[in-house]
A and B are shown apart, each in its own frame.
Chain A
Amino acid sequence: MRFVDEFRDPKLARKLLDGIKGLTPDREVNLMEVCGTHTVAIFKHGIKELLPQGVNLLSGPGCPVCVTPMETIDRAIALAGLPGIIFTTFGDMIKVPGSSSSLEEAKAQGKDVRIVYSSLDALRIAKENPKKKTIFFGIGFETTSPSIACTLSRAKKEGIKNFFLLSAHKLIPPAMKAILEAKEVNLAGFISPGHVSTIIGSRPYEFISKEFGTPCVISGFEPLDVLQSIYMLLLQIRERKPKVEIQYRRCVKPEGNIKAQKELDKVFEISDSSWRGLGTIPNSGLRLRKEFSSFNAEKAFDVQIESSPEPKGCLCGEILRGVRIPVECSLFVKECTPEHPIGPCMVSSEGTCATYYKYHRRKDYEKR
């Protein structure tokens, strides 16, 4: 396929791997792929086994399903259970276990829970069902949130009164900062998210290289992208000149997508946000601005949610911070499987546990 096969060329992959070998330092280096789509790409193309000993890839907090706190899931389930509600969500959220149920179970019990591919589909459902109230479960990082901002702008313009947003949107750079500040893992560099950066550009990462001295390379999602990004990170490490570089030049500009940023800013404002595994991170979430508060599902519907503890033994929190890997969790494979997930990292196709699960029989994935 054009624009895909070019980035899977085996000869070029070999060349990059030779380059990576040449740059591999004697000590172990831990590189974190922040984004869940990178985790999937790394496994999908078998990249880990091609890397030389000493270059370790750690999965980060970039799976939006995984970092959504249990309380938010419980709220979603409670909202879906109210009379006259059509609850719309991206497919990945439907299986995520809350404290005692999931949206999938709510659906099985007869609640009107529908999977959509886009928030615009949810808006269409609202328009087609004027007597009901349609709620959209907005999750995702900077990649997803602009499209949801556009949907709300449109809803406002068209005067649609039966459409609501449950916003669990989060921002990536503050989470990277939280991981660095926690100092739980010795990180030598970040493979930074490509799609998030098409929106925000490269500047919001500058503090990572400047304040923390940690190299950042914004990477694409094809195997050659990931390999080249690793190469670029190792080069920065060798030269001891940490900076933010863009490998994914065909999509990412330093200033990002200004139009999308403006749209985001019109609808949302930055707020503190609670992350599963990471706790509350300052300025890491998005909430609706006053002008859009009539769309806020949390304000429009009164549901009481009790806070509940994380499932016992579940290491999703540590896994999201890159401190542990799934095979170190006592529930992994034994009690927690994609059929019966206990933590969210086993649910999402981009979740680290689900990705590891697919490959757990391979010895070479048990290393870091």
Chain B
Amino acid sequence: MQKSLHIDANKCTGCLQCEMACSYENYGVFITAKSRIKIFDFENEGRKVPYTCTQCAEAWCLMACPVDAIRLDAVTGAKVVNEATCVGCKVCTIACPFGTINYVAATGKVQKCDLCDGDPACATACPTGAITYVDADWTGFDKMRAWAGKTDNATRASA
């Protein structure tokens, strides 16, 4: 059974341990600005919302890549950017309707969540259980994917 990141925003306190863990895992630096998971702060509601790639089935980024630099990891289900192949054209960044693949000027490549080869650092670092890595059926990701489906509904409905 493939696993997915499960987000429970109600449990998020906004400590940003996940962002530090993500940047450390991928760049060896503690720098929230480079994290692939982001906490969005709705101050007025007292709500913090962790947000990252859902590894959606539509794989907009993968489909849009002109040079085959984004591949499916068959084990984890993650859509993974191969930095050596990515030319930095950024087409994926405007194709992904979730805004979860982004261009990094410093590297000239795009970056996105790759589930850390099946051991996501953000989930390990989260002190409250707001981010967990669980069996895909448990995640309620279908809710978010329903939105993906909306972007693509005609195709899905009849294909």
Q: Do A and B bind each other?
A: no
Chain A residues in the interface with B (C-beta under 8 A): none
